[in-house]
Each structure stands twice: as C-alpha cells, then as structure tokens.
C-alpha cells in the first residue's frame, strides 16, 4: 500500500468526524433528547467547518492553487449528503416525540386549535417577543443591511398591489423553544410567523410570507507579524474584521 493511501484530505476527514456525530443522532438506541443534542452539535460543527475550512479553500482557489476546486466539489457533495441525512434524522426524532405525546407544532398547526391557544400565543408574543423585534424594510435606493454571521433571519414578502420585502432578525436573546399550555412545543420562529401581522400592520397587503435563512461568514483570522500596537489591540481589530467577512454559506427554508 502506497503512503498516499494512508492519508485522507483534511477537509474530508473533518466531515467524516461530523458524520460520526450525525450517526449518534440517527441511532434509535439513543434517547430522543440525546439524539436532538447530537443534531445540535452536528449543526454547530458544520457552521464552523464552512466558516473556516471552506473559507480557506475559496481563498486558495482565488490564489490559483491547483486541485483545490476538485476537493471543494467533493466537500460540497458530501455536505449536501450529510444535510439530507440530518433532515431525515430530525423528521424521525420529531415523529418519535409526537408518538410519545410531545408534538412540535408549526404556525399552520395552530389554525385547528381552539381560540384559547390563539389568545395565549398573542399574549406571549406581545409580552415576550414583539419588544425585541426590529424589522428592516428593503428599498432599492438603500444599501443592503449588514447581516450578522450565524444569526437567524426571516426574509419577509408582503404581497399586494405594491409588493414589499423586509428582513426580520430572530433575536438570540429569545428562547429557542416555547412550551405551550397544552404541553406541546413551538419554535420561537413559528410563534413569530403566527403573529407577523402584528409586526407589519402598518402596511397594506393581501398576503404575507416569511422564510428563514442564515449566513455563515469567512471567520479565518488574518494576523500578520506586526504587533507594534500590542497583542490585545491587534486581536480586537482582527475580531472586528471577522464580523464583516464575506459569506461562504447560506442555509434557508425549502418551503
């Protein structure tokens, strides 16, 4: 066996490690909540992988490094495969939770519930959620706002005689899950979707839709050897620049 066969491309090896984490989420022998935790770990690992390793590969391609584009294609194919398995594992876990009496409801599921549930959601939204929301209306004569790395956003479209578009950040200070009075659970995202009219009530529209998305930015640190201004200040400057790195990944709703 040649020496080349003893080694694996670093990026592919990293994805293989993340795949083993995903396998724990797929393993039906593990408790359901543990499987959910493994999905969270996998998702966090993939974000970091794209922000650092994939970002470096894009830089190398721009510098004309040979063979990197082929590796990037392999990485993207593997990442898409893992994402499909992630979605399948998530669906299996939520179905299993529902079978045990814990349902993860979406905003459409609330339509069939009694008025008391609607009233509770409206009160929760007004008291806990609405004060934290800052919608940004998109206009052609205004620059696109700077989106925060890793933050969750809604892309909002208001249909009518004049269609309007907006971006709405889902604040990280809000709880990710909301326990409903009937014991079921909703994502905070769906709580917001359920009450979008309360956010954009000043506009006239026939229909409103919101699709969730998140971007990952190039987070590789560029540190030169000039530390005349001091190490701490140098790191502060580099970390500020990191917030404005170019996007390397976009994750979004498919429906």
213 within 8 A of 166, measured Cβ to Cβ: no
Q: Tell the burial category of 35 from Cβ atoms under 10 Å away from its Cβ (0-12, 13-18, 19+).
A: buried
According to the model, what pLDDT value does residue 96 have? Answer: 95
Percentage of residues in the chain with pLDDT exceeding 70?
Answer: 86
Taking only the tens place, the pLDDT of each residue in 170-208 is 999 999 899 998 888 999 999 999 999 999 999 989 999
- 41 pLDDT more than 50: yes
- pLDDT tens digits, 160-173: 888 999 999 999 99
For residue 90, the model assigns a pLDDT of 94
Q: Domains of the chain (ranges plus CATH)?
A: 3-101 (1.20.58.310), 104-217+248-252 (3.30.1840.10)
Q: Is the dihedral of CA 255, 98, 109, 106 positive or negative?
A: negative
- Arithmetic mean of pLDDT, 133-153: 90
- pTM exceeds 0.85, yes or no: no
Partnered with residue 179 across adjacent β-strands are: 185
Token pair belonging to 143:
């620059």
Candidates 226, 158, 155, 157; CA nearest to 189 is 155
Average model confidence (pLDDT) across the chain: 86
The backbone torsions φ and ψ at residue 194, rounded to the nearest 5 degrees and listed phi first, read: -60, -25
């Amino acid at each position: 066996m040649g020496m080349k066969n003893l080694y694996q491309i670093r990026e592919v090896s990293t994805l293989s490690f993340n795949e083993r984490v995903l396998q724990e989420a797929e393993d039906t022998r593990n408790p359901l909540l543990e499987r959910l935790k493994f999905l969270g770990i996998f998702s966090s690992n993939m974000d970091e992988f794209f922000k650092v390793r994939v970002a470096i590969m894009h830089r190398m391609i721009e510098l004309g490094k040979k063979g990197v584009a082929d590796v990037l294609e392999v990485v993207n194919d593997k990442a898409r495969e893992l994402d499909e398995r992630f979605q399948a594992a998530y669906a299996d876990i939520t179905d299993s939770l529902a079978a045990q009496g814990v349902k993860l409801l979406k905003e459409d599921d609330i339509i069939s519930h009694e008025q008391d549930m609607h009233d509770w959601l409206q009160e929760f939204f007004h008291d806990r959620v609405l004060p934290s929301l800052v919608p940004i209306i998109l206009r052609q004569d205004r620059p696109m706002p700077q989106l925060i790395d890793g933050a969750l956003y809604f892309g909002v479209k208001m249909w009518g005689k004049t269609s309007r578009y907006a971006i709405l950040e889902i604040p990280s200070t809000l709880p990710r899950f909301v326990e409903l009075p009937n014991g079921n659970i909703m994502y905070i995202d769906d709580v917001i979707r359920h009450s979008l009219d309360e956010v954009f009530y000043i506009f006239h529209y026939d229909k409103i839709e919101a699709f969730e998305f998140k971007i990952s930015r190039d987070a590789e640190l560029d540190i030169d050897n000039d530390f005349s201004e001091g190490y701490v200040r140098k790191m502060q400057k580099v970390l500020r620049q990191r917030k404005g790195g170019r996007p390397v990944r976009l994750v979004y709703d498919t429906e």
